[in-house]
Amino acid sequence: MEPQSSVLKKFSLHNRSIVITGAGRGLGLSFARALAELGANIIAIDVHDKPDEEFHDLLSYGVKTVYYKCDVRDPATLKATIGEAANKFGSINGCIAAAAIMTDKPFMEHTVDDMNASFAVNVNGMLSTVQICAEHMIKQKSGGTVICISSTAGHKAVFPQTATAYVCSKHAVLGLVRQAAAELAQHNIRVNSISPGPFLTKMLRSVIAGDPALEEYFSEGNAMKRLAVPEELDGAVGYLMSDASSFVTGNNFNIDGGSGCH
């Protein structure tokens, strides 16, 4: 006889509706694909007019999807957008806050405006996303799961890259996650973060194109001596978003090829 609750069933996201910011392309779109494969309905939010073509492939998993153009720096519009999605899909069961920007500028040239611009998206936009989604989960009395995307830049400098504002903002993400996890646990809402290392997204490819020496730097900066592909985050995202991680909150997962070994 088959067990009533197998390990595989714990990873199922069937009929759960997940908000993902920054989901129009890059890692956010990769997260959407992974969760759709596990049965989740996808509410994708990004600042671009339309997502990459690969977004439409999500329908092949038999889930519901919707894409909204919305800037996470605008809390009122973000709240209205997520509210519309909740009405459309019936609930909000989780979110991945992945929207982020990076300013590439030497430390001595960084300005307060540069810092404010990065924090507006990478921290304040994340705060709004988590608060709005949590508000729906609390109202539903359903609990839920939140994943915030930090970076290895949230744990160390990224020299020879020059990205002071980005580094500071990703450090701040880790603090946001710990505090949110502590306060939202009473509502059965779990909050964790993932800190990816160098993943070959379109953004990183463009960075390397501007400075080819960075490819060797990124590869040599981890124990596995290579760059990663977005699909290598699927397992962590699926685990943290599902019941398989039901006793995990306030934690950060480094997915970095062992950069901490160096």
Please check whether residue 214 lies inside any domain of the structure. no
pLDDT digits (tens, 9 = 90+) for 68-126: 999 999 999 999 999 999 999 999 999 999 999 999 899 999 999 999 999 999 999 99
Domain that holds residue 70: 14-198+232-252
Residue 42 is given by DSSP the state E
Residue 193 three-state SS = strand
For residue 237, being part of any structural domain is answered with: yes
Does the pLDDT at position 5 exceed 80? no
Counting DSSP H helices and E strands in the chain, the numbers are: 9, 7
Measure the CA dihedral 86/83/96/122, to 10°. 170
* 201-252 pLDDT tens trace: 877 888 788 888 888 888 888 899 999 999 999 999 999 999 999 999 999 9
186 falls within a domain? yes
Distance between CA atoms of 135 and 246, rounded to whole angstroms?
Answer: 20
- Residue 9 placed within a domain: no
Nearest to 193 by CA among 120, 142, 245, 128: 245
Sign of the four-CA dihedral 169, 174, 178, 184: positive
Q: Does 93 map to a domain? A: yes
Q: Where are the beta strands (DSSP E) in 65-184?
A: 65-69, 94-97, 144-149
Evaluate whether residue 83 is within a structural domain.
yes
The answer as to whether 21 is a domain residue is yes
Q: For position 25, which CATH number holds?
A: 3.40.50.720
- Asked if the model's pLDDT at residue 195 lies above 90, the reply is yes
Cα of 101 vs its chain's centroid, Å: 13
Q: Measured between alpha carbons, how far is 152 from 57 in angstroms, rounded to an integer?
A: 30
**CA–CA dist 195, 124 (Å, integer):** 18
259 in a structural domain: no
What would the two tokens of residue 204 be?
């990183």
How does 62-73 read in b/e, with b if 16+ C-beta sit within 10 Å? ebbbebbebbbb
Alpha-carbon distance values, 133 to 40, 94, 172, 204 (Å): 16, 7, 20, 29
pTM (predicted TM-score): 0.94
How many independent structural domains does the chain possess? Answer: 1
* Residue 214 region by backbone torsions, left for phi larger than 0, else alpha for psi between -120 and 50, else beta: alpha
